[in-house]
Amino acid sequence: MAVKSTAQALHNRIAVLRTERGLSRAQLAEILGVNYQTVGYLERREYAPSLDLAMRISAYFELPIESVFSRTPFPPIRTALHRGRSEASA
C-alpha cells in the first residue's frame, strides 16, 4: 500500500533576504553551519528545513519565523508595497 504524503510545500523568502544582505549561498551556509547546497535546496523549495534550522535562519535575519516561512505563497513585494501605500493615503 502506497503512503500518500500530506506534506505541503514550504514557501520562504531566503533568497530575497540573502540577496538583500549581499551574501552568497556559501556565505549564508557557513553562518548557519550547513552545506551551501542546503541553502540552494531551501531556496528552490526542494527541502523543508528542520525546526531548528528554520529558527536559526529566522534569528539570523532578525525576523519572526512567519516572515521567512509560509505554507502559502508570499505575495510579490510590489503588491505589499502598493497595499502599504494605499493604506497610508486612506
Cα–Cα distance for residue pair 84/90, rounded to 1 Å: 10
pLDDT for 53 equals 98
What's the fold here for domain 11-89? 434 Repressor (Amino-terminal Domain) (1.10.260)
pLDDT for 72 equals 92
- Domain locations along the chain: 11-89
Cα–Cα distance for residue pair 29/40, rounded to 1 Å: 9
* pLDDT, tens digit only, all 90 positions of the chain: 443 444 567 999 999 999 999 999 999 999 999 999 999 999 999 999 999 999 999 999 999 999 999 999 988 877 766 666 665 555
Q: Closest Cα to residue 69, out of 59, 84, 80, 83?
A: 59
Residues 28-51 pLDDT 10s: 999 999 999 999 999 999 999 999
